[in-house]
A and B are shown apart, each in its own frame.
Chain A
Amino acid sequence: MVMKEITGTSNKILEVDLTTQKFSVFDIPEKDRKMYLGGKGLGLKLLYDRMAVGVDPLGPDNIIAFMMGVLMGTGASCSGRFAAVTKSPLTGIMTSASCGGPFGMALKTSGWDGLLIKGKSAKPVYLYIDSKGVQFRDAKTIWGKEIRKAQDVVLKEGSGAVVIGPAGENLVRFANICSGHRFLGRGGMGAVLGAKNLKAVVAKGQEYKILPVKSKKFEKTKKRSTKYINQNPITSNQYRIFGTNSHVMLSNKAGILPVRNFTGGSHGEAAKVSGERIVAKHNPKFSTCKPCTILCGHKATFNGEERSVPEFETTGLFGPNLEIFDPNAISDFNEICTDMGMDTISAGGTIAWAMEATEKGLFKSDLKFGSPKEVAQTLTDIGKAKGIGKELGMGSRWLSKKYGGEDFAMHVKGLEIAAYDPRGAFGQGLSFAVANRGGCHLSSAFFSLEAYLHMYQPYTTWGKASYTEFAENCFDVVNSLHICQFTAFPVFLEPPIIKMLPTVVLNISLSTMAPLAIWFMDLSVWSRYWSSVTGHRLNMWKMLKIGKRIHVLERYMNTREGIARKDDTLPGRLLNEGRVSDPKHRTVPLEKMLPKYYKVRGYDENGIPRDRTLRKLKIEKK
């Protein structure tokens, strides 16, 4: 069969109303495409135009957008990723996530650049999508099924799907959405679908071929990008061999590994759960997003079964943070979260809170640090909303407001923080505090520059505000193109000038003149990718401005939901308590960095984007 072709993008978005069981199609205005690129950025803009302030995240008026970037389907390196954007039931503000599962490719090659879903179906349904549109199908037979089982059923009808598990159906506030063996992890998107009575969306796919408008330029860019990826030691070696679990020993050495609910920063037994140990003992093989050049994802043998290797965040939060150092146990927890459909970061963070709260007499449970036995059962109970699992499924913020222990509920804005202790990387502290979706490590990923690459002094506040702003803008671009965030390592580090500079000089120049240091990096790889596919002009400066626009729009949407300076903070433990592993008992000096960050961002002293900032970025104030 000869495949139809789309040159550039189809620019077509499907809009589905589950209440009326109808759908419509609209074209993305060219202006929006140029101003927001695609993926996360465009998804936010579409929601900004359509969704009222104050809607209930679990109500019919909440909209979830699945957005493909312009690179999806082109074969660009590490471009097998798509974004989803919605209002989070865990945080009450906007959340976005990136996923490398096959749904992205399937929807895009069905001819759609995005899918918006609103309303609520009267009974459980799933959607079937092809190039003709949407069919609403009865989900009676798959409702209640675990993710992998449900996915196997719907995948008989298409080439990619997004599916929720029992956790999403039971409105667990950190339920995720699965596609293949990858997830839209953070912020409880699974519960948004569950509340809409939507079990799955399956797309036929393979109907269209996606071609760049400027194929020569595209190929050249791809070559450059691949070269950088294959040159860079992190992407060509560290991640390819050890996956993200290579972070375990790096974090342990730098003192930023969370131990016992963030009371310690390193542990003598950390090596037992490291990437190196998994390679030595568990026989890993590649299992990645497609297409991918870096190949960080792996599967391996745990407890005699071939399973996905837990990512570092899962290892960190179910491992040392619960004082568990058994990779098989961590893999068990990962498998339960996969079947139930739950974010492992929030699940791990919430269980750690429960362990400490139990120890302190604030909460009743059988959970104990260092004891894996009860964790597995508790995770299943959370997914099924049974017993104490029902309350644990509300997340650590809700629990700590009800039972106490707010100072050790390790979340920001309701989203449990990832496995990096910012008392050993102050920039990461700022980054957690101001990240738009809450305690997110990916908004700037500052920890890697401070604690792993030593490009910034971890214990100073110099230059932290500027770099946070710069990285946030970059990653908003990355998630809008859409491409894997790990491509940032080669883009930032491989250009010859950066490689030639001695670390000390680089260190000083980044800390004192961060905006200038950007000149050394080769961000044009990303802008050239986008312009070669769409045929529209874009240089890296314009692209960074777009990143800024996306970031500020999201912040502005959040401030309309009540977010302000009061929310740009960290758990009390990180601001007030030193750690045994740090003889200097350092805490994050957030108050020193926050005003500088607001200044570079163009926010007022209360953290609200100023009118002139919105005007400059052409964001229409509502």
Chain B
Amino acid sequence: MQLPESYVFFSQPKINSGKNALEHIYVELASMDARKPLVLASRQVAEQGLTKKFIKSLYDSNVIIGSLYEEVYPYHYACISQLNDLAELFRARGCDSIIAIGGGSVVDLAKGVNIAVSNEGSVMDYAGENVLRKRLKPFVYVSTGQCGGTETSNEAYIENRRFVSDFLFPDVIVLDNRMITSLTRQRAAEAAMVALTAAIESCAVPYNNPMNDLYANVAINFIYENLHGVVKKPKITHGNLALANAYAMAGIAFSNIPPGIVYSLGIAIARDTGLPRGKCMGCLLPLSLEYRVMKHESIRSELLYALLGIEGYCRVPEKDRTQTSIAILRQFVNDLGDILPKSLKDMHVSRYKFEEYSRMASEMSKKRVSQQDCMQLLDIAWEGIA
């Protein structure tokens, strides 16, 4: 491992994981001078009884729930009309902080409401990279085990527009066994693929950043060691908690690098087709590494370390480490069987739209990913994994 000449790493959130993590929320809020949160959850989270559990955990605290809103629309992005209504509610009830329970759009919405209540003007004025200029209200994210890619990162999608700012990190990430629900096999695999993409694209490509490596490697390892178990037995508590931790770390690592080719393409295809992001990324991820090798671009051997740990890493001769890690990753995805399609063709993605997806992905990565590379990767992924 080499120390790069210079690097920057930023991580805002405090992670509170394991038993009784919920009961610590009031302490965390107090430390940020907050005691009256607006609590957001989706209908589904409420139906699973998770908001009740959450409220129960605050019984002995001095936290006053400003408002509990359990009707977040089940969209894949935060919707502006709901966001504006909730910002109104926040102000009307005199809230001083936000807690989001769930994943995906609930968190995006919470981040959007936070932008609205902490800034002047329309939320949409803050779309783009690093437009936000000041700290937002305290924000706590309570994970339920989902992963849309933005929950623990510095990103949010509001009305399909990407917002990026270090002020969008949650201040506290709560990973409590009681709140982490078992997902279906399909959803678990898809969530893991989003996080795995974020983690791998944070460390396997040559943005050498030792802090990033730490977060990403642990995320990769947790996913590698736990996903198959969870897919087989979705109710394994420990496995689900490990995955939730992995998602949290992957999000933080991912916030410190520009979006990679798989992440950007995955978002572009998912947005157009309505397919889950995880499905698209799961199909592209192993192939993207092979494509890099084909182009004689390096893949850092730390990926193997992340997958197999120190012993496994040492057993493989240095020259074989890249190939071995790709083979392991490919096998790992293959072993998920029919949960993840093996090609874009299987997913019925339209080939004539590849140019459009490549353009969108390249724009999203601020041209750090070239359209040509995107096109070539998509062409390979069309037939997919043999």
Contact = CB atoms under 8 A, between A and B. Distances in A.
B124 A362 contact: yes
Nearest to B79: A407
B81 A404 contact: no
A145 interface: no
**Most A CB atoms within 10 A — which of B77, B271, B274?**
B274
A568 B192 CA distance: 26
Contacts of B124: 361-362, 404
A404 B348 CA distance: 25
A576 B75 CA distance: 10
B349 A576 contact: no
A406 B160 contact: yes
Interface in B229-267: none
Interface size of A as a range: 20 to 34
Contact of B80 (A401, A402, A405): A405
Interface string A145-185: 00000000000000000000000000000000000000000
Interface stretch (A51-59, A110-118, A322-330, A610-618): A51-59
Nearest to A564: B348
Interface in B328-377: 347-352
Interface string A389-422: 0000000000011111111100000000000000
B65 interface: no
Contacts of B348: 53-54, 559-563
Contacts of B125: 361
B349 A562 contact: yes
The main secondary structure of chain B at its interface with chain A is loop
A566 interface: yes
B86 to A, nearest CB: 14
A404 B352 CA distance: 24
Contacts of B161: 403-404
Contacts of A59: 352
Contact of B350 (A54, A400, A572, A576): A54
Interface in B262-297: 271-275
A228 B302 CA distance: 79
B73 A407 contact: yes
B160 A562 contact: no
A547 interface: no
A463 interface: no
Given A361-B122, A362-B80, A566-B275, A403 B160 contact: yes
Interface in A552-569: 559-563, 566-567
**Most A CB atoms within 10 A — which of B125, B158, B273?**
B273
A489 B274 CA distance: 37
A406 B75 contact: yes
A53 B347 CA distance: 12
B225 interface: no
B159 interface: yes
Interface string A37-55: 0000000000000000111
**Most A CB atoms within 10 A — which of B159, B161, B351?**
B159
Contact of B159 (A54, A405, A576): A405
B71 to A, nearest CB: 8
A360 interface: yes
Contacts of A316: none
A407 B75 contact: yes
Given A362-B124, A407-B79, A55 B271 contact: no
Contacts of B349: 562
A92 interface: yes
B200 to A, nearest CB: 26
B108 to A, nearest CB: 12
A430 to B, nearest CB: 19
A55 B353 CA distance: 10
B81 A567 contact: no
B122 A404 contact: no
A92 B351 CA distance: 12
A423 to B, nearest CB: 15
Contacts of A404: 77, 80, 124, 158-161
Given A54-B351, A56-B352, A401-B272, A407 B160 contact: no
Contacts of A400: 160
Contacts of B275: 562, 566
A584 B129 CA distance: 42
A562 B125 CA distance: 35
Interface in A535-588: 559-563, 566-567, 572, 576
Contacts of A560: 348
A187 to B, nearest CB: 16
A166 B158 CA distance: 36
Contacts of A360: 80-81
B383 to A, nearest CB: 13
Nearest to A356: B81
Interface string A230-256: 000000000000000000000000000
A567 B275 CA distance: 10
Nearest to B123: A361
Interface string B52-92: 00000000000000000000011101011100000000000
A92 B160 contact: no
B345 to A, nearest CB: 8
Nearest to B276: A566
A362 B159 contact: yes
A400 B272 CA distance: 11
Nearest to B127: A404
Given A362-B80, A400-B160, A407-B79, A562 B350 contact: yes
A572 B347 contact: no
B77 A406 contact: yes
A561 B344 CA distance: 12
Contacts of A563: 348
A92 B74 CA distance: 25
Contacts of A408: 81
Contacts of A362: 80, 124, 159
B80 to A, nearest CB: 5
25 contacts: A56-B352, A360-B80, A360-B81, A362-B80, A400-B160, A401-B271, A401-B272, A403-B161, A404-B80, A404-B124, A404-B158, A406-B75, A406-B79, A407-B73, A407-B79, A407-B81, A559-B348, A561-B348, A562-B349, A562-B350, A563-B348, A567-B274, A572-B75, A572-B79, A576-B73
Interface of B: 73-75, 77, 79-81, 122, 124-125, 158-161, 271-275, 347-352
Given A403-B161, A405-B159, A567-B274, 6 more contacts: A361-B80, A362-B159, A400-B160, A404-B158, A566-B275, A572-B79
